[in-house]
Structure 1
Amino acid sequence: MNIGLKIKALRNERGYTLKQVADAAGISVSFVSEIERGKRNPGLDNLHNIARALGVSSDFILAGTNSINQVGDKREFDKQFPNVVKILRRDGKKITPEKERLIARIIETAIEDE
Structure 2
Amino acid sequence: MEDAGGLSSSQYGFRKGISTLDAIERVTNMAAKAIAGTRWKGVTKKYCLVVTLNIRNAFNSADWGRTLEALRSFNIPEYLLNVVHSYLSKRELVLETSVGPRTLEHDV
Provide the TM-score with structure 2 as the length reference.
0.25
Q: Which has the higher strand share?
A: 2
Higher relative contact order, structure no. (Cα contacts within 8 Å, ≥ 6 residues apart): 1
Provide the TM-score with structure 1 as the length reference.
0.24
